Chain A
Amino acid sequence: MITLYGNDRSRATRNVWMLEELGVEYERDMVDHTKGEAKTESFLAINPGGKVPALRDGDVVMFESLAINLYLAMTYGKGGLWPDDAVGQAACVQWTVFSATEVEPHTVGALIELIFKPEAARDEAAAQACLARLPPVLNVLETTLSDLAFLGGDTFTAADLNVACVVNSLNMIGFDFTPYPKMTAWVKTCVARQG
């Protein structure tokens, strides 16, 4: 049985999305990082880094949310969310790294300063600096999605899930998506799959 550690206030939600897409059975351990539960001895045995989410699947124990999704797709989504062909697999890996390194540092940076921190500690200028880094990155998505229905081609794959879950987080801060119509339509299509 697969166990996913982390509650809905963590990046575990993106792994829930993947697990639901794959239709595999899993259980959740709602480790609440906001109450220090990710630093307990029992959880540190799962992830010594003390961060959620983490995943246990038999003798597989791992962390890093986007890596967990790639592992799950490779293992349980062959021919579906993990395409059979090298071109599709290349897209999944490339876009997942793109999401982690090009998009998420800026989205998370803005979210921290605008909503996660207590109001008195928020730094509007730091948030704006993060948001200012996004247009060239989002334009890469807009350009790609002008030619393709999904990031890897005609079908929804791990590439889409791993990028859409990060881009969609911008909705939490009322981000203006109007300069990116193709990307916006694609995010909506992807997110609607979560039901």
Chain B
Amino acid sequence: MIKIYGSFVSRATRNLWMLEELGLEYEHVSLDWAKQENRSAAYLKINPAGKVPTLEDGDATLSESLGINLYLVQKYGQGGLWPDDDAGRALCVQWSFWAAAELEPLAYGRIREFLFKKEPDRDQALIANMAERTGPLLDLMTLALDEHAYLSGETFTVADLNAACVMEYLDRSDFDLSGWPKVAAWYTNTYGRPANQKIQDQRAPIAADMMKRLQG
């Protein structure tokens, strides 16, 4: 049985979404970060850095949320979320790394200000600078979405899932996407998929509790 470690308020939700898309059976082990459950001896054995998420699938144990999704899709999503053709696969890998290396530093840098600081303490110059650098990335997505309905072609693939679960940080920090209508429509359509809705519904009460703790 596949096991995924990490709570609903961690990057594990990215993998839970993928597991739901693929219709796989899995066991979700939610580790409470506040209780340091990710630092237990048992967990450090499977992830020495104590980070979440981690996936166990038979003999394979791996970390890095977007890497886990690429692994899962190649093993279980052939011809579906993992396209059959080389060009489609190349774009799936490309957009996953683009999300990890280009978008996430900006999107996560932004949401950190919103999550971990109260409004008067937020670094508005940093937020503005990150928003400015995010624009060209959204322009690039728009060009791809001018060519086809989804990032890697005419169907939803791991490219979309991995990009959307990073773009979530922009959405949760009220980033104004109105200047990029194609991206906004793609995000709504992608993020709102039933597989993700199922995960987000479970996340909502836990996230609300966390926000109460963080924002008071």
Contact = CB atoms under 8 A, between A and B. Distances in A.
A25 to B, nearest CB: 16
A66 B61 CA distance: 21
Contacts of B62: 90-91, 93-94
B74 interface: yes
Given A48-B143, A94-B64, A140 B48 contact: yes
Contacts of A100: 97, 100-101
Interface residues of B, number: 35
Interface residues of A, number: 35
Contacts of B70: 93, 97
Interface stretch (A56-64, A127-135, A179-187): A56-64
Nearest to B63: A94
A64, A66, A91, A98 pick with most chain B CB within 10 angstroms: A64
A21 to B, nearest CB: 17
Contacts of A79: none
A94 B94 CA distance: 15
A91 B70 CA distance: 11
Contacts of B63: 94, 98
Interface string A110-154: 000000000000000000000000001000100110000000000
A86 B62 CA distance: 11
Interface in A39-78: 48-49, 57-64, 66-68, 70-71, 74-75
Interface string A11-32: 0000000000000000000000
A136 B49 contact: yes
Interface stretch (B19-27, B35-43, B83-91, B199-207): B83-91
Interface stretch (B52-60, B112-120, B169-177, B181-189): B52-60
A140 to B, nearest CB: 5
B104 interface: yes
Given A93-B68, A96-B67, A97-B96, 19 more contacts: A60-B90, A67-B90, A71-B86, A74-B89, A86-B60, A89-B74, A89-B75, A90-B57, A90-B71, A93-B64, A94-B64, A97-B64, A97-B100, A98-B63, A98-B64, A100-B101, A101-B64, A101-B66, A101-B104
